[in-house]
Structure 1
Amino acid sequence: MDTEGLRSFVRAAELGQLRHAALELGVTQQAVSKRIAALERELGVRLFNRTARGVELTPDGQAFLPHARGIVAAVERAVTAVRPGFRALRIDVLGLRSAQAVVLHEYWRSHPGTNLDVVTLRVDDPRTAAAAVAAGDVDASFRTVTEPASLPHELRMIHAFDSPLELLTGPRHPLAAARELTPEQLRGHRIWVPGIAPRSEWADFYDQLTIAFDLRLDAAGPHFGDEVLLDVLAGSADVATLVGSRDRYIWPTGHDLRRIPIVDPAIVYPISLILPRTNPHPGLRGIVSHLDTLPKPAAPLWRPSWTVEGPPHAR
């Protein structure tokens, strides 16, 4: 069924004259008349009676009008949903408690009119997330392809911000009373990071981290969720984990967990943003500009070898 015929019928019914409908739609009165005639032939009913004052709906036209309005409105919503500048900006984050989601929430709070859709692609391989950006399933993704040469040519990857790591422990852990810790002080302590997925960017990060500082990283066992991890830390005298300083974690007051910054050097997880090289969603410009205003961690820093250098300027 021709949607332009439906639109012409709806406007003619609402305005009562084919001439007025034609002016609003930017076509000739003859074009509106032909569209409605074709619609009547397809339906096998007469929708209008022509009068000296214009057009009046027949009983069939009255019955058809609310359905036609619904179809026209649905088509307009569908077109708007995929029109850059009108549809929501869709950005993939690793999790809704991640530093990326926290930063996006801060941006949205300062720009409440932003039409933003934050999603979490259930993938571990960042190349899969990059493919989703290339396909237009999302407009950008806070992921890092640690081998930039494998990134599709139509995409680019910029440095978004640095996420300094903290040691998260329970109150009985031997390091729990420290105000700051150096990587050297972490040696020999069990750092439990369950759920490190093969081929993920964080797997590469932790591999390099353990080699650089000779840390005892334990990735054994499935990851049953943050709540279980926090419960284990609260009751343990020898298990700790690493979290980003901006990552959002909430635990019961009785857990008495401690977040301890790591310094000299600060261990930094570099977060990147993957986006189209040409014609990105207009809403990304504001996001990228906001990223450039985020506080930078104090030197000295340690980053993995695949860090994307340079400020995240919008282009």
Structure 2
Amino acid sequence: MDLQQMRYAVAVAETRNFTRAAERCYVTQSSLSHRIAGLERELGVRLFARSSRRVELTDAGEAFVARAREALAAADRAVADAAAATGVVRGRLAVGVIVTTAAVDVPELLQRYRARHPEVRVLLRSGRSDELAAAIRRGELDIAFLGLPEGERPTGVECVALDHDEHVLVVAAGHRLAGAERVTLADITGETFVDFVAGTPARAQSDQAFAAAGLVREVAYEAGVVELITGLIGRGLGVALLPSAFVRPLAAADPGLALVPVADGPHRVEYLAWSRFPPSPATRAMLDVLGAGPRT
């Protein structure tokens, strides 16, 4: 068994397809299949259940791939640590970010990081705060920028608060409340709402605020991206509560939107999160750029 076989097995597990796995690994499908078959013979178990349409992990495959990921991460870390000992930061940095990040200008941050550490391969992934925190715990991400309701903290990871923010009401420019100085949740509970998908941290911020006030609202439109939410609002189909620091630049660029302060609206905390395990040199370098986390 060697590391390349492990990489092939992980690629098949993640793509659920031998052809796509081979493309990812820059080898022919026949070569990858041959190496996987040899690995299964050596282990004496079937790692993958194959059909004409897809590939699934067996129980043995699930167990093997989990440890293979750890072994590959350790090997990559060994290479990165050796380079770091000479003063050069190399390796991979996987960054997670929520779509409403406002505490950090992520493109500017990545540009600054690349200027300092051009030999690090940076990967960027967007998603929900709970998904990104789970990915850090699994070792799939190194750091992530999260947003959670006030009073909640990411679990199972190291974190530092970057910013505290409050939500504002976002309405169409022609809405009856567009010129209001301030509203309360009771004033808007009868409105039709546009919001993030139920069960997500982004949605929980507003849901918890209405529940705490003993109010019930109607969410008619659920969306996973802010562009769709603001598009629906601009068409007069509903209103939304969104973090002020994030939505103010959008409203400034879109005359079809208006923002109204909410006296008892939701509050959000943006966090920087990273693994509780000792960070890699690439991760430590990013924490240094941000002025957060353990020092080297």
TM-score by length of 1: 0.51
Closer/same/farther in 2, CA of residues 87 and 81 from structure 1, 3 Å limit: farther
Structure 1 unmatched runs, 5+: 1-77, 290-311
Change (3 A) 1:164 1:88: farther
Q: Aligned Cα RMSD in Å?
A: 4.1
**Distance in 1 between the 2:160 and 2:241 partners?**
24
State the SS of the aligned residue for 2:80.
coil
Cα pair distance change 1:118/1:193, threshold 3 Å: farther
Matching residue of 1:89: 93
Calculate percent identity across the aligned residue pairs.
Answer: 17
Q: Give CA deviations for 1:109-149 in whole Å, capped at 9, x if unaligned.
A: 66661558362354x471x4333213332111223688979
1:256 to 2:256 alignment: yes
The answer to whether the Cα contact below 8 Å between 1:81 and 1:88 also exists between their aligned partners in 2 is: no
**What is the CA distance between 1:176 and its match in structure 2?**
0.5
Question: How many residues are paired up?
Answer: 207
Are the counterparts in 2 of residues 163 and 246 from structure 1 also a CA contact under 8 Å?
yes
Higher helix share: 2
- In the other structure, the counterpart of 1:197 is 198
CA contact (8 A) 2:194 2:222 kept: no
SS of the residue 2:270 aligns to: strand
CA contact (8 A) 1:188 1:215 kept: yes
Alignment check: 8 A CA contact 2:146 2:271 kept: yes
Query: Quick one: structure 1 residues 215 and 149, their matched pair in 2 at CA, closer, same or farther if it must change by over 3 Å?
Result: closer
Structure 2, gaps ≥5 residues long? 1-74, 82-88
CA displacement at 1:250 relative to structure 2:
4.9
Does 1:212 pair with 2:215? no
Of residues 159, 172, 177, the one that matches 1:175 is 177
> Which secondary structure does the structure 2 equivalent of 1:113 belong to?
helix
CA distance in 1, matches of 2:290, 2:206: 27
Larger radius of gyration: 1
Distance apart, 1:170 and its partner CA: 0.7
C-alpha contact (below 8 Å) 1:233/1:239 kept by paired residues: yes
User: Structure 2-normalised TM-score?
Assistant: 0.54
**Aligned partners of 2:93 and 2:106: how far apart in 1?**
11
Task: Give the distance between the partners of 1:314 and 1:191, measured in 2 at CA.
Answer: 46
Match of 2:122 in 1: 117
Contact 2:103 2:163 in 1 (8 A): no
Q: Distance in 2 between matches of 1:163 and 1:137?
A: 28
Structure 2 partner of 1:21 = none
